[in-house]
Structure 1
Amino acid sequence: MFFYDSTFIILLPALIISALAQIKVKATFEKYYRIKSINGYTGAQVARTLLDAEGLYDVEVKQIAGKLTDHYDPRNRMVSLSRDVYGSTSIASIGVAAHETGHAIQHQKHYAPLQIRNSIVPVVNFSSNASWIIFLVGFLFRSSYLINLGILLFTAVVIFQLVTLPVEFNASNRALRVLQQRTILYDNEIKGAKSVLTAAAMTYIAAALMSILQLIRLFVLSRDR
């Protein structure tokens, strides 16, 4: 038997913003992906140049499958760039490559928010799945202990999303600053790269908002129960 959960309406703002953010980031990336940079550097060349400039010769740059799957893995010290970024000379690709390099530089410089985020990843990996299971079991069996435990575990997810925001913003700011300082991109090109990274940042804001509203929803459900 299906039932209507009125608390779902709490999530609507985040769902709308998330959908708009995904549309925006794809449209912005495609727009500036069609515009090639004047200097003609590929995303891989930019990443390698910026890493070497910081003495990060041991950080590997590799190509991976997928679209907009670019990331930096601090565990194996590797910048992974999607095919559209790795070999492309577009403004969008250079901006994304520089952004991921920014994370490697954060790692080298022991940037506090990145260290905090990395330290809680194992907890979050467990909490993101277990919190809802524990909460629902507590909800069904009227166990306030399990309900509160589920809420506590989900709080770790919220903290992770909030800490992610300064990490991503800082990486983008580093990327834009160094691209301009080294004249890898010029003024109008910098504006294009900034548009791409700003659009990408909206997806992290949407994820943080979603986690906060999910936590509020859990509190409302626990009170109703």
Structure 2
Amino acid sequence: MGIWVLLIGIGIISMIVQWRFKNKFKKYSEMPLSSGLSGAEIAQKMLHDSDIYDVKIISVEGQLTDHYNPADRTVNLSPEVYHGRSVAAAAVSAHECGHAIQHATAYSWLQFRSAMVPMVNVASRVVQFTLMIGVMLAIFSNNLLLLQIGVAALAVTTVFSFVTLPVEFDASKRALAWLETANITHGREEHDGAKDALKWAAMTYVIAALSALVTLLYYAQMLLGRRD
């Protein structure tokens, strides 16, 4: 009963955080940047200020699809951020460049996260199937092997969610420090807006990690209950 309450609670909180984040992004997307630079121009300047010249900045389709790809060394910005000249565009583009800087400086948490990616890709593909079928087998035939595999796969993806947190927090820290020192965000209103936008973006990762943990506890409890 306790795990179910946590699952429901995390689900509700997740929806609230996602709604809050989208509202914050919309709000700061409508706040013009005094410097007048676009997200793409800000990204280029931040990379060059960090002596990084081998990372491409490209526009990708979708909304909030912004990410850094270490495999091909590209900063991928959604059209709203790539072309945008707002506080939100500045915050997001600088954040993604923060990941590029982490890569260039061999930031330990990013290296650890990248090393986990192949294993996480496999775990993500099998986790739903193994858990669904594993639960049915455990209930009707007391065969726990598939459920055990599912719980192990879920544990891998859960660890990955938590490893992601310091990577995201550090990228935002680098972004905010550079935006201020490079005089991209003028005055407290613009800087505080960028900080607020990145805070709520980070909260989505925190909730995702907690959700993964509670889900893992739920299936682990089921597995241990069947073994008794």
Bucket of the pairwise TM-score, normalised by the shorter protein: over 0.9
**Equivalent residues of 1:10, 1:217 under 8 A apart:** no
Residue 14 (structure 1) aligns with: 10
The alpha carbon displacement at 1:145 in A equals 3.1
Distance in 1 between residues matched to 2:29 and 2:225, nearest whole Å: 49
1:207 aligns with 2:208: yes
Residue 137 (structure 1) aligns with: 133
Residue 73 (structure 2) aligns with: 77
Deviates more, 1:183-192 or 1:99-108: 183-192
Distance in 1 between residues matched to 2:26 and 2:10, nearest whole Å: 24
1:188 aligns with 2:189: yes
CA deviation vs aligned residue, 1:2-59 (integer Å, no higher than 9, x gap) = xxx9964441122112101111111001111111011101100000001111221110
Match of 1:79, SS state, is: strand
Q: Which letter does structure 1 place at the counterpart of 2:199? A: T
Equivalent residues in 2 for 1:22-61, closer than 5 Å: 22-61=18-57
**Residues 1:157 and 1:131: Cα distance change in structure 2 (over 3 Å):** same
**Equivalent residues of 2:123, 2:154 under 8 A apart:** yes
Identical-residue share of aligned pairs (%): 38
Q: Which letter does structure 2 place at the counterpart of 1:34? A: E
Q: Which letter does structure 1 place at the counterpart of 2:169? A: F
Distance in 1 between residues matched to 2:111 and 2:142, nearest whole Å: 38
Distance in 2 between residues matched to 1:217 and 1:110, nearest whole Å: 36
Distance in 1 between residues matched to 2:218 and 2:116, nearest whole Å: 23
1:161 aligns with 2:157: no
Distance in 1 between residues matched to 2:64 and 2:46, nearest whole Å: 20
Distance in 2 between residues matched to 1:45 and 1:74, nearest whole Å: 20
Q: Which letter does structure 2 place at the counterpart of 1:207? A: A
Match of 1:61, SS state, is: strand
1:106 aligns with 2:102: yes
Q: TM-score w.r.t. structure 2 length? A: 0.92
Equivalent residues in 2 for 1:117-128, closer than 5 Å: 117-128=113-124
Counterpart among 46, 52, 58 of residue 62 in structure 1: 58
Distance in 2 between residues matched to 1:132 and 1:143, nearest whole Å: 17
Residue 198 (structure 1) aligns with: 199
The alpha carbon displacement at 1:150 in A equals 1.9
Q: Which letter does structure 2 place at the counterpart of 1:126? A: V
Distance in 2 between residues matched to 1:120 and 1:151, nearest whole Å: 17
- Which runs of no fewer than 5 residues in structure 1 stay unpaired? none
**Residues 1:128 and 1:177: Cα distance change in structure 2 (over 3 Å):** same
Distance in 2 between residues matched to 1:93 and 1:185, nearest whole Å: 11
Q: Which letter does structure 1 place at the counterpart of 2:26? A: E
Equivalent residues in 2 for 1:83-102, closer than 5 Å: 83-102=79-98
The alpha carbon displacement at 1:223 in A equals 3.1
**Equivalent residues of 1:155, 1:215 under 8 A apart:** yes
CA RMSD of aligned residues (A): 1.6
Deviates more, 1:136-145 or 1:155-164: 136-145
Match of 2:77, SS state, is: strand
**Equivalent residues of 1:74, 1:107 under 8 A apart:** yes
